[in-house]
Structure formats: structure tokens, C-alpha cells
Structure 1
Amino acid sequence: MSRPHLLALAFACVLAASCKEHGHSHEGEAAHGHDEGGAHPSPEAAEPERPDLSVTAYQDGLELFMEYPSLMVGQPSPLVAHFTDARNPDGFKVVTKGRVTATLRYADGAEERFVAEKLLRDGIFKPEVRPTKPGEATLTLRLEGEQVAGTVEAGKVTVHPTVAAAVAAAPPEEAGEPTVPFLKEQQWKTQYATTPAEARVLQGGVRANGELKPVAGQAAELSAPVAGRVLVGGPVPHLGQAVKKGDVLVRLVPTSVAGTTDLATVEMEAARARAELGLAEREVTRAEEMLAAKAIPEKQLDAARVAKEVAAARASAAERQLALYRGAQSGAGGPGGSTFELRSPLEGVVSFADVTPGAVVEPGKRLVSVINPSRLWLEAKVYEADAPKVERSPGASFTVAGFSREFTVDEQTGRRVAVGTVVDPATRTVPVLFELPNPDGALKPGMFAKVTLYTGETLRAVAIPESAVVDDNGRPTVFVMEGGESFFKRAIRPGVRSGGWVQVLDGVKEGERVVSRGAYELKLSTATGAIPEHGHAH
């Protein structure tokens, strides 16, 4: 065979493989592109193929995406009906149980019913419609089952008398906005949901970064007041321990005396101080007698009394030093104030503990921290340009990493504490403080938050869930549903954000459905370049 013939044959094989890859084939049917019998007649004898139709509808908590050939009198038209339980906006679920009844209701009131007693496979029913007369009709599908039940109107349909009539009635294909495929089988394997863009009343607000902090006066640190040894056998606090105000957390035996002198020296200093005190007391008595005999002036008696007070203070200090030294040498507390007790200044939980029995610590070392987490402060850092808008902010909403829900602070759930009066020269922001309850302790001090501070203004605008917006190379982007398995990728211009919703100034129209759960998975499927097959094998 010549080289040109070989090239022609290879090209024909490539075309045949491409047609096979992109065709929709259904169990029990020929692939689209051939006649009903599946034969391959000559081009001159080939009958036109019935156009394919599809519909996506939402009703009774159900999503119906259906593909089917144009309806024709006396010919079977299998309806490939994909049913999804769409009652939960946080994630749709595939329907796994039930039966479906398809009803054709003609304009004259006549009805024809066709039943699929069971699923073809999870999510897919395939009732076969065989109309008996031509004309306009309404197609309705009724799902009955334990998981979910409901009726979905697929809309107006036409039953054609011939294939030629169906072809002639088919709308011409128009080149439009490119779409991204995301098959039902992919949707059902991930957290997926759609939501229509709708007009909502939104709270005006500004965005800011924030941090959760303990309420002022509801956090405390206990540090070693002197160099000392942690008492062996004393309390040892641990992280997360609940404590009450006044509970002893650490007992510390001072060791500073031991590093500077010995017991004999301390005892000698104490004896000297006692002797000096005795001498000072006798001098006061003598001065009082001499003043009574008018032998000395009164100021000499005053001087003697001052000397006695100084000697008394020195003797007291020497006695305490001797007691501390003896307690430090024995390694245990004793009477006479030989140990320091660090007590909790408030009720709460231990948030930090570095206490080892017998360990020697330096003065000022942090040993224990206690916080009361029942209420927290949210500190939002508002850029100076937005600061005037939030001077009287009535509240805020915020999200924290690790939590799927949004938290709200308003007059019912908390209060605004203060608005800063000075702009931070480093960050050019103004702090705004809110106080909020934290009864279950789920929120932790130190957590970072994305905050929307309300300005007090309201507006009515077309909005979509914030979860629908993904970042695409720095551009806010959403996926708008074109059909059950195809989506438009559109950049949007967001506006006000409020209560988990974002205003759409451009890019999405009211009534259009956006992917509100699973948008990132859809974005990733387009980024990999792995476009799924265009059809299904049912």
C-alpha cells in the first residue's frame, strides 16, 4: 500500500476514535450518531438522527438533570434522569432509593404514564417514554422513596410525528460562552450544592483582620517573686486544669539566702540584732529618767527612741532571714512564713504551667498562667480609611479557621467595648474591640479571625453565598450553572459582605444558580486539565 493511502487510513482511525470518545452511549441503545437499530447504512440511505435534549429543574427539594432524545410518536425515548436530594444547602446527596413515574399530560387533558421501578444505578432512573400521539404536552417526573419524595416538572415538550419534524424543530446551535464540565458522578462524590443569586437585605460592612483575646482582668500570670525551690509534695498545676479564685497553685521555698552566707553567720547576725535592740531599749529608759530630772534636753530622748525603732526593725529582719534560711536548707516549708504561696487570682483554667517539684527557679520566671475563657474580646484591626465608617458599629461577624459556621457579635450576643483613638503607625490600622460570650470554650484566645464590621447601613442587592467565591489568580470567581453538568466560569465584582453573603455588582444576574459548595473542587478539576468524558455510559 502506498504512503498516501497509509496516511489516509491513519487519519480515518483517529476520527473514528474521537467520535467514539465523545458520544453519549446508554445501556440498551446505540451510540448517538447512529440510527435506532445500530446499523451503519450508506450515507444516501441514513435517516436523520433525533436531536438530544436536556433539562435541569429544582422542585420539592429535588434537583433533576435529565437527558433524552426528542419525543416521537411510537418510538421509545429513554429518559436518563439524574435525581439529587437538594434539601440541605450545605451539601446535596445522591438519591439511592425509590421509583420514578414519568407523566405526559397533553393539552386536551389526556395523560400517559411510564414507570421506572428501580434505579439504573445510584442517582439515575431510566423510564422509557413511548408517546402514542403527536402534540404539545407537559412532562412531569414523580419520585417516590424512603429517602426523599417529590414531583418535578420538566416543562413543555413536543411529541413529533417524524424524525424530520423533530430535526426541523430543534433550535440551531449557537456559539456562546465556554462552559466547564462537572459530571453528576463527580458532584455526588464531594460536598456539592448550588444556590440561586437572589435579592437580599445586606448589612453594610467593612472587612478587617482580627484576633481573639482574653477579656481585660480575666487573665493572669504567676511568676516567682524570689529565687527559690518548688516545694516537693506541693500542688503541681497542669494545662487545662480548672481552678477557683484563691486556690494554691505553687509553693516556693526561697533559696536566695543560701547562696550568700552560712547558718553560723545568719545566727550571729540575728544575735547581734537582738543585742542592739536590748541596748537601744535601755538607752530609751535612761533618757526618760534623765529628762525627768531635767538633765538632758527632750531631743536627746527622741533620738534614743528612733534608735530603738531602727534596732527593732533590724532584729525582726534578722529573725525572718534566719527562718527563711532554715526552711531553704530543709527543702520544705515550715511555720513562720518560710514559703511563698502563689494563689490563683481568678476563677478559670490553667493556660500555661511550667512547674517541676524540687526545681530551683530564678526570680521573675513565669510559672503559671490562668485565664477565664467564658467571655472573650475580638480585636479587629480596621484600616484608617475605613475607621470613620465603624465609629458606631453595631456589631460584627467573623470566621475562624477550623469552624464551618460564622460567628456574630451584636447587641443580643455581645457588645462593642471600644474604638481606638490612635492609628498604629506600623500597620495604619485602628483597633475596634467587641466582647462576646464563649460558654462552651470552643473559641481560643490567640485565634485569628476574618471580620466584617457592620456600619449600621442596609441595602437591598443581588447576593450569593461567600462560599461560592473562589480566588482565581487574584480574581474573585464563581461557577454559574448552565445545565446540570456544565458551568460558566465567571469573574465577579463583589460588594458588601454580610452574614455569609456577598453582594455581586457584576458577573452574576438574579436567578442564576452558582456553585455554593464544591466550587474549589470544580476549580481544581479545571486546573488539572483533565476534562472528563463528555458523556455517560448508562
Structure 2
Amino acid sequence: MAFAHGGEEHSHGGGAAATPPLAGSGNKPARLPDGSLFLPKPVQRLLAIRTTLSMPQTLALTVQLNGVVVTDPNASATVQPLMSGQLLAPEGGFPSIGSRVEKGAVLAILEPAASNTDKGDQQDKIAELRSLLGLAEKKAERLTSIAGLVSEMDVDAARNESDVLKARLQALQGSLAQQPETLRAPLAGIISTANVMLGQQANAGDKLFTIIDPSRLQVEALTYDPGLAWRIGGASAMIEGQRVALEFVGASQQLRNQALPLRFRVKASPLVMSVGQPVKVAVQTKQQIKGVPLPAASLVHDGQMEPVLWVKTSAERFTPHKVKSQPLDVDTLAVLEGLPAGRVRVVTQGAALLGQVR
């Protein structure tokens, strides 16, 4: 960056001499007959005009995509009960949204619910199995005692029948005396959603909590170019004015609304990122172009809404140039046509104010 300062006698754009200011303009800004501006040094400092020296370079062709912040499937979890019952709060109460929890932390306790009819049916089945088990055990004992008179196959069958009935009885007795289910956090993170209340009746599979690790978020973008996934060299996104670097994870093999989903991993998640937040993704491809890289804020529009860059051609003279450009990343553009050849000093801050000088 270059700051305007007094006593500067630069020759820019091939050494062209500065055009003298209009007669009577003195130290006031003035529009010159050729469309350029005369801007005295004090005014440049007042308007905080900043410039940078740029020249054509070989750059990566960039494509802009619409994206949205999503969770990493390995860093997010949903907490659901395995059975129906009544929710009870753990010691300290239910965690609220925004609370940080550690892996294994108790989020809620589920008291199993069973109707009197269900309990009666289970008790009848238990009594029936006990009776069958008693008969099976006596049969197995009798056949074992006369093992020499009956086949070994009959003895084994009787023992197996007894073992099966015993296992069924134990399982049914265990279901009758179900213990409260403790719902724990499967990973460390932030509570994103909490759909719980004290005494609430929850069914098996209800989504009670959602936990997200905010340090491991991802971005999903859609492209209508199926071949783009093979040409990606890098990517970035702009989140609340902050440039965030992305790492390409992979592309889906199934179209969604005629577009191909691309997944990127956020290398360093800023605090301002939220799941579901829309973002602009700049994808740098392996294809190269020739252009002049400049901050996106350098580009302004004239009265005809055509894109213009202001070039500082001497210490107090600025010339507008209509250019053709394309985004390079979320905060940088590449000027393809319209600038003088070679090294040029382009206004990067305060360009919009220059267009207001008459």
C-alpha cells in the first residue's frame, strides 16, 4: 500500500508527464478535460486515498459458488432415547442451548413407562415360561439319568430346550423391571437444540438434544459444472467480513436439483459461524489466467454503471479506466482488460470518492 504524501514527483504509466491543473483551480480538486482528476496532496490525505502498485501475473481461474455452513458428521450428534418414558432432570438440571458439555455428561434421565395391561401380560408370560421351564428341566434330568437307554441326541435336545426357556424367562423378567435410561452426551461440544421439559413424555427415537462441535464445521456448495470437482486447487469463503480458508473434502456422485454438492472443511472456524448460515465460496481451479490482482474494493462504477478502476498517473493526477474483471477469491479480483501495460498504481481505498469530483 502507498500513502499519499507531499513532495511526490512520480511518473506512472510509462513516464507520462502530469497534466497541469486548470487555470484558477488552485489547490482545489478539479476534473480535467480528458476525464482525469487533479487532486492536491492535502485533499488526498483528507479523503484517505490509498494506492497499491500492481502488475499482470499468472493467476488461478476462480469460480464463485453459493454455499451454506453445515455440521461435520463426525463432530455432531443427536441424543435420542431407546424406549418411551418420562423425562427427569439430572443433577444441575437440563443443559440449555449454547451450553458446553463434555463427552459422557448426563443430559437427562428417562423413567421407563409401562401400562398396567403391559405389565399384566408380561407377568402371565413369565408364569407360563416358569411352568414350561420346570417341565423341561425335569425331562432333561430324567433323560440324563437313563442316558444309556436313550440316544444322546434326545438328551441334548432336552437340555437345549431347557436352556432356551431359561434365557427367555430371564429376558422377560429383565424387561419387566426396566431401569431408568441415562442419556449421555456422545461427544464434547455445544448444545445446539434442546427439546426437553421436566416430566415430558418422550417416545423412543425422539430427538431430544443436538450437539455440535463448533471447531469442526464444514461448508457445502452447489455447482452446475460436474467437472469442477476435478479441477479444484483451493477455496475460501467470506464469513461476516472475515476471509476463511477451506479445504476440499469431496463431491457427491448424485445431483441435487440438477446441481452437484461439494463439501469443504473449514480449516479454522471463526466464532461468527453458525450452522445454516449462507456463504459465498470462491473456488480456485487448476486453470490459469493472466490478470492484475487487486482488492475487490478497488472496483467502482461510473455514471453509466460500468466498472472502473482509478489509476494514479502522477503525484496529483488520477485517471479512470474501464476494465473487465472477474472474482479471484472472496475479497480479491483479477483485472483482465483495461489497465495500462506494465506496473500501475491503482487506488484501493477511496475510489468511490474520486468519482464524485466535478
Normalised to the residue count of structure 2, the TM-score between the two structures is 0.73
1:365 to 197, 203, 206: 206
* Aligned position for 1:282: 138
* Aligned position for 1:492: 323
1:417 to 249, 267, 281: 249
* Aligned position for 2:310: 480
After TM superposition, the structure 1 = structure 2 runs for residues 25-424 of structure 1, keeping only pairs within 5 Å, are: 61-62=3-4, 151-153=6-8, 176-177=34-35, 193-196=49-52, 198-199=54-55, 201=57, 203-207=59-63, 208-233=65-90, 235-255=93-113, 257-258=114-115, 261=117, 263=119, 266-292=122-148, 294=149, 296-324=150-178, 338-384=179-225, 387=228, 391=230, 393-400=232-239, 402=240, 404-409=241-246, 415-418=247-250, 420=251, 422=253, 424=255
For each residue in 1:165-186, what CA deviation from the matched residue of structure 2 results, as whole angstroms up to 9, or x when unmatched? x79xxxxx9755599xxxx99x
For each residue in 1:270-292, what CA deviation from the matched residue of structure 2 results, as whole angstroms up to 9, or x when unmatched? 33333332232222112222333
* Aligned position for 2:260: 429
The separation in 1 between residues aligned to 2:330 and 2:337, in whole angstroms, is 20
User: Higher RCO, 1 or 2 (CA under 8 Å, sep at least 6)?
Assistant: 2
The separation in 1 between residues aligned to 2:333 and 2:199, in whole angstroms, is 59
Taking a change above 3 Å as real, the CA distance of residues 518 and 278 of structure 1, as seen in their structure-2 partners, is farther
* Aligned position for 1:445: 275
* Aligned position for 1:465: 295
The separation in 2 between residues aligned to 1:449 and 1:212, in whole angstroms, is 7
The separation in 2 between residues aligned to 1:416 and 1:375, in whole angstroms, is 14
* Aligned position for 1:504: 335
The separation in 2 between residues aligned to 1:250 and 1:275, in whole angstroms, is 40
Taking a change above 3 Å as real, the CA distance of residues 298 and 459 of structure 1, as seen in their structure-2 partners, is same
* Aligned position for 2:285: 455
User: What percent of counterpart residues are identical?
Assistant: 24
Counterpart residue type for residue 237 of structure 2: F
The separation in 1 between residues aligned to 2:100 and 2:32, in whole angstroms, is 69
Taking a change above 3 Å as real, the CA distance of residues 470 and 176 of structure 1, as seen in their structure-2 partners, is closer
User: RMSD over aligned Cα, in angstroms?
Assistant: 4.3
Q: What SS does the aligned partner of 1:462 have?
A: strand
Normalised to the residue count of structure 1, the TM-score between the two structures is 0.51
Query: Unmatched 5+ residue regions in structure 2?
Result: 11-16, 25-30
How far did 1:363 drift?
1.8
Does structure 2 retain, via aligned residues, the 8 Å contact 1:197–1:508? no
* Aligned position for 2:28: none
Q: What SS does the aligned partner of 1:246 have?
A: coil
* Aligned position for 2:27: none
Does structure 2 retain, via aligned residues, the 8 Å contact 1:225–1:363? yes
* Aligned position for 1:129: none
Tell me which structure has the larger Cα radius of gyration.
Answer: 1
How far did 1:359 drift?
0.4
Does structure 2 retain, via aligned residues, the 8 Å contact 1:243–1:347? yes
Does structure 2 retain, via aligned residues, the 8 Å contact 1:241–1:349? yes
Give the number of aligned pairs: 333
Q: What SS does the aligned partner of 2:177 have?
A: helix
For each residue in 1:117-172, what CA deviation from the matched residue of structure 2 results, as whole angstroms up to 9, or x when unmatched? xxxxxxxxxxxxxxxxxxxxxxxxxxxxxxxxxx4448999xxxxxxxx79xxxxx
How far did 1:261 drift?
0.9
